[in-house]
Structure 1
Amino acid sequence: MNPSLWLALLGAGTLISFVPGAGAVNTMSNALAVGFRRSIYGILGQQAALLVHIGVAAAGVGILVTNSPLAFNLIRYAGAAYLVYLGVRKFLQQPEHSEVRASQAAETALSMFRRGLWVNLLNPKAIVFFLALIPQFIRPDQPLLGQYGILAATVIAVDLLVMWFFYAGTARSFRRFTQHDRGQVLLNRTFGSLFVGVGAILALA
């Protein structure tokens, strides 16, 4: 991949990563619940899902999904239902004392990874996005494995940095609200509503 093409890929990946979506909401919610450093587990799950989407699109399976309204809608509604489920659970979550949050934080690395994985994996828009993105940056007359490796590494590195240092970092400034019950309730309901809202958009768009 030549430098000018890579710079175009870098710009596209950066722009898309900054657009708020389910991954951003999930990252900020995790950062508020368990802190900036431990939010990386959810972000890594989201990146694993992006890697799967790139592989699916590269294999051409994504074309079959987007050409099948039934398959596409099944994935879309499953993703929307999962986001709504997360939102309702977050909205109804009760305030927790600091010692309870500390004990839960030690147990949630794997669950955060799984949640991040499913949040991005059940997003059919990602499949459509990579189907549109990949042909613009892959040259069929050149070795494909290296090109796909560069594309995957670039997109995932950019998204990881944006999610962790921008979205998780932004959430860190709100963490002082979690020190008292009223602030926790407000933030739980805010992020619960955001999850439900993103799910509704995914289902209706």
Structure 2
Amino acid sequence: MSLAVWFSLLTASVVISFTPGAGAINTMSNALSQGWRRSIWGIIGQQLALVVHVVVVAAGVGLLVSQSELLFNGIRYAGAAYLVYLGLRLILAKPTAPVADDALDLVDAHEGHWSMIRRGFWVNLLNPKAIVFFLAFIPQFIRLDEPQLPQYLILLATVIVVDVLVMWGFFAAAARPFRRFTRTARGQRTLNTVFGILFIAVAGLLVFLH
């Protein structure tokens, strides 16, 4: 992969990562409820799903999904249902004990690492449009007349590093000023409701926008 092609890939990856979606909402929600440092676990889960998406596209399965209305809709509705579930769970969640600031290293881990990883993984995985997007995105940066594995590894590393930096450095960090609202039960309910509605709204877009 030439430097010019890689720079184009880098630029596209930054634009894609800054586009708000379920992953960004999940990251901000984690940062508010679990703290900025611990929000990395959800981001790791999202990156694992991204790896699966790229592998699926590289293996040709993505083309099958994009051309099969039954498969595409099945994954689409499953993804929407999962986002609605997450949204309702947030809206109905009972307030918990306040979480201390990360800066004090006194964060009370209300949720396990694996739970956050799993949720991040499924939030990103159950999005068939991500597969379709990568079908259009990847061919622009992969040359068929050159060894493909190194190219895919460079592409995957670039996309993951950029997404982690944007998610953790921007979206998770952007949630930190609102952490003061987690100090009260009313503030927690308000934030849970807001993010719950956002999850449900993204689910609606997933279902109704083709």
Q: What is the TM-score of this pair, normalised by structure 1?
A: 0.96
Q: In the alignment, which residue of structure 1 is the partner of 2:65?
A: 65
Q: In the alignment, which residue of structure 1 is the partner of 2:103?
A: none
Cα offset for 1:98?
Answer: 2.7
Q: 1:69 to 1:203 in 2, by over 3 A?
A: same
Q: In the alignment, which residue of structure 2 is the partner of 1:10?
A: 10
For the residue of structure 1 that corresponds to 2:145, the secondary structure is coil
Which residue identity does 2:119 align to in structure 1? R
Distance (whole Å) between structure 2 residues aligned to residue 43 and residue 152 of structure 1:
15
Q: Is the 8 A contact 2:34 2:107 kept in 1?
A: no
Cα offset for 1:103?
Answer: 8.9
Q: In the alignment, which residue of structure 1 is the partner of 2:89?
A: 89
Q: 1:195 to 1:104 in 2, by over 3 A?
A: farther
Cα offset for 1:105?
Answer: 1.7
Per-residue CA deviation, residues 99-131 of structure 1 (Å, 9 max, x unaligned), is 7xx897254211000000000000111101110
Per-residue CA deviation, residues 9-49 of structure 1 (Å, 9 max, x unaligned), is 00111001000000000000000010000000000000000
Q: Is the 8 A contact 2:25 2:195 kept in 1?
A: yes
Q: In the alignment, which residue of structure 2 is the partner of 1:74?
A: 74
2:182 pairs, out of 174, 178, 181, with 178
List alignment gaps of at least 5 residues for structure 1: none
Which residue identity does 1:125 align to in structure 2? K
For the residue of structure 2 that corresponds to 1:98, the secondary structure is coil
Q: 1:112 to 1:25 in 2, by over 3 A?
A: same
Distance (whole Å) between structure 2 residues aligned to residue 182 and residue 163 of structure 1:
27
Task: Note if 1:119 corresponds to 2:123.
Answer: yes
Which residue identity does 2:31 align to in structure 1? A
Runs of 4+ in 1 over 4 A off after TM superposition: none
Q: In the alignment, which residue of structure 2 is the partner of 1:134?
A: 138
Q: In the alignment, which residue of structure 2 is the partner of 1:144?
A: 148
For the residue of structure 2 that corresponds to 1:96, the secondary structure is coil
Which residue identity does 2:190 align to in structure 1? L
Distance (whole Å) between structure 2 residues aligned to residue 44 and residue 29 of structure 1:
15
Task: Note if 1:189 corresponds to 2:189.
Answer: no
Task: Note if 1:47 corresponds to 2:47.
Answer: yes
For the residue of structure 2 that corresponds to 1:202, the secondary structure is helix
Cα offset for 1:94?
Answer: 1.4
Q: In the alignment, which residue of structure 2 is the partner of 1:25?
A: 25
Distance (whole Å) between structure 2 residues aligned to residue 17 and residue 201 of structure 1:
18
For the residue of structure 2 that corresponds to 1:174, the secondary structure is helix
Q: 1:18 to 1:38 in 2, by over 3 A?
A: same
Distance (whole Å) between structure 2 residues aligned to residue 98 and residue 38 of structure 1:
15
